Structure 1
């Protein structure tokens, strides 16, 4: 469902997005992404970050999750 939502904001098919993410981020090749693996990998690849940002700017959320800190709003 997330890939379909992202697909609305890019010319890539859901399959192309999924392949890009796994080929780029799944460094150990196990076919699964941990949260840490996703965050680290996405932050290192501008194209993936651009796709995510087109759907919803998650950069601050990813930073908070990665650092383990919570901020009151």
Structure 2
């Protein structure tokens, strides 16, 4: 059997991204090493979608000028 993964620890290669994503509210900061569920993916995508739509709405005039 392989090594057991501690789902409560962030992998060194992902530490910076994990910190940014939790700081911005995409994840709650728990279980960074756990497998993600479709429900969690849906929550993150929905938040990203809302942020992108907000950004577009705030910049409609500038987008039209392009």
Q: Same fold (TM over 0.5)?
A: no
TM normalised by structure 2 equals 0.28
* The structure with more radius of gyration: 2
TM-score, with length taken from structure 1: 0.27
